[in-house]
């Protein structure tokens, strides 16, 4: 037999598969027995110059595969296929049909040059599948029994034992050590198919449940369920606004050197950006210590007509006094003036010395400075 063109081999494989399909009602063993060498015989006949109709295609030389199968069957002294019975048989034996389809597909793939290394790689990966199959079986078992929440790996000794047993069974079967007798092999085949089907749902469920678990654990750590009490929030980006002692403040109160309250003070940072305590443009409500109702703030307007939120103390009014404007914005009704929220104290401590360099030049400072 000489080297064949790849397309010829493909044709031969397809033809042989069609012949086998026509014989499927005979059962796998008889079909294999009848068609053991079919590909080789077909290929050799195609190659033989003395063969009738040499040089023509498979169909020209051998006729339709169904006719070929019928001839084979008749010559072997086997009953011709009754189409009706065959239909029923094909439908009633999807396992054999699938297996045959798989064999046919494999035969076609093996005719491709790139397939050999891929198949070798996949074969090398088979033990991985055995373990995965065992794990899927374990997960499905735990899920059905409902004993524990699904996780990637068990947490209890008993569950570890079940997992080990499942992996042991799967690997031993994969190695061909157990479950090889015909009477039980269908159980193993069924198990394999179930593992393939269940792999994805089990992975999704486990992933989902592990995720939930992590969330619950996180909130436990964070003090939910009456745990530690303090909830710590970690954020990648700093909160915008002004924070004092870890707490965001809503308003700033400014006192001068003598400790007198100042109003309408504009505050900027070192880069000239307005320092804002609120970013809600007046939508939110703020509670003050010992206040009886929440307040909302209003902005000041600068000479150019722009809203300024960095003018302190922010003014506002109890939220109940606000109404909604036509554009849905919360506004104070005309006639109601914004007022300054309660000051924390009427007067702050005065500074020890006026921050005026000219005073020092006049010689007052040395006397005011306490000598250590």
Partner 1 sequence: MDTTQLLKGVLDLAVLAVVADEDGYGYDVVRRLRAAGIEEVGDASVYGTLRRLYSSGALTSYVVPSDEGPHRKYYGINAQGRAMLEAQRKDWQEFAGTMGRLLKTEVVR
Residues that bind partner 1 (CB under 8 A): 1, 33-34, 36-41, 44-45, 48, 50-52, 62, 68-69, 71-77
Identify whether the C-beta of residue 283 lies closer than 8 Å to the C-beta of residue 330: yes
Selection from 253, 258, 255 nearest residue 351 by Cα? 258
Q: Could you say which DSSP state residue 337 is in?
A: P
To partner 1, the closest distance from the beta carbon of 59 in angstroms equals 14
To partner 1, the closest distance from the beta carbon of 52 in angstroms equals 7
Sign of the C-alpha dihedral computed for residues 64, 70, 74 and 77 taken in this order: positive
To partner 1, the closest distance from the beta carbon of 81 in angstroms equals 14
To partner 1, the closest distance from the beta carbon of 51 in angstroms equals 8
- Paired strand residues for 324: 330
Q: Given the complex with partner 1, which of 44 and 284 has the nearer CB atom?
A: 44
Q: Given the complex with partner 1, which of 62 and 135 has the nearer CB atom?
A: 62
Distance, in Å, from the CA atom of 28 to the CA atom of 262, rounded to the nearest integer, reads 98
Enumerate residues 6+ apart whose C-beta is below 8 A from 17.
100, 103, 104, 107
Q: Given the complex with partner 1, which of 34 and 298 has the nearer CB atom?
A: 34
Length reported for the chain: 372
To partner 1, the closest distance from the beta carbon of 181 in angstroms equals 25
Q: Given the complex with partner 1, which of 106 and 204 has the nearer CB atom?
A: 106
To partner 1, the closest distance from the beta carbon of 86 in angstroms equals 18
Q: Given the complex with partner 1, which of 62 and 173 has the nearer CB atom?
A: 62
Q: Given the complex with partner 1, which of 71 and 240 has the nearer CB atom?
A: 71
Max Cα-Cα span within the chain:
133
Q: Given the complex with partner 1, which of 53 and 329 has the nearer CB atom?
A: 53
Selection from 260, 227, 226, 263 nearest residue 349 by Cα? 260
Distance, in Å, from the CA atom of 350 to the CA atom of 331, rounded to the nearest integer, reads 37
Question: CA-based angle 105:33:6, to the nearest 5?
Answer: 35
To partner 1, the closest distance from the beta carbon of 107 in angstroms equals 12
Q: Strands 295-298, 261-262: parallel, antiparallel or unpaired by DSSP?
A: unpaired
């Amino acid at each position: 037999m000489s080297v064949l063109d790849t397309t010829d081999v493909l044709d031969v494989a397809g033809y042989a598969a069609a012949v086998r399909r026509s014989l499927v009602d005979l059962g796998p063993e008889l079909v294999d027995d009848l068609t053991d060498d079919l590909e080789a015989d077909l290929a050799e006949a195609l190659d033989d110059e003395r063969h009738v109709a040499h040089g023509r295609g498979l169909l020209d030389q051998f006729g339709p595969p169904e006719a070929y199968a019928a001839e084979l069957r008749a010559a072997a002294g086997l009953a011709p296929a009754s189409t009706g019975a065959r239909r029923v048989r094909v439908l009633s034996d999807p396992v054999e049909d699938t297996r045959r389809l798989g064999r046919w597909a494999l035969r076609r793939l093996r005719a491709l040059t790139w397939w050999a290394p891929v198949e070798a790689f996949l074969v090398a990966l088979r033990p991985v599948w055995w373990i995965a199959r065992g794990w899927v079986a374990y997960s499905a078992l735990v899920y059905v029994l409902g004993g524990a929440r699904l996780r990637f790996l068990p947490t209890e000794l008993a569950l570890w034992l079940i997992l080990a047993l499942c992996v042991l069974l799967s690997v031993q079967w994969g190695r061909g050590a157990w479950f090889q007798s015909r009477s039980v092999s269908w159980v193993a085949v069924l198990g394999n198919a179930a593992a393939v089907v269940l792999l994805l749902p089990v992975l999704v469920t486990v992933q989902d449940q592990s995720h939930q678990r992590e969330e619950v654990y996180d909130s436990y750590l964070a003090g939910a369920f009456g745990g530690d009490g303090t909830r710590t929030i970690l954020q990648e980006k700093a909160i915008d606004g002004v924070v004092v002692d870890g707490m965001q403040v809503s308003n700033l109160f400014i006192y001068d050197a003598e400790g007198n309250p100042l109003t309408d003070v504009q505050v900027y940072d070192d880069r000239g950006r307005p320092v804002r305590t609120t970013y809600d443009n007046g939508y939110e409500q703020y509670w003050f210590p010992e206040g009886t109702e929440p307040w909302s703030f209003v902005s000041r307007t600068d000479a150019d007509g722009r809203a300024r939120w960095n003018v302190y103390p922010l003014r506002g009014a109890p939220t109940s006094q606000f109404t909604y404007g036509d554009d849905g914005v919360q506004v104070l009704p005309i006639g109601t003036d914004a007022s300054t929220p309660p000051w924390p104290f009427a007067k702050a401590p005065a500074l020890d010395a006026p921050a005026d360099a000219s005073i020092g030049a006049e010689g007052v400072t040395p006397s005011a400075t306490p000598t250590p």
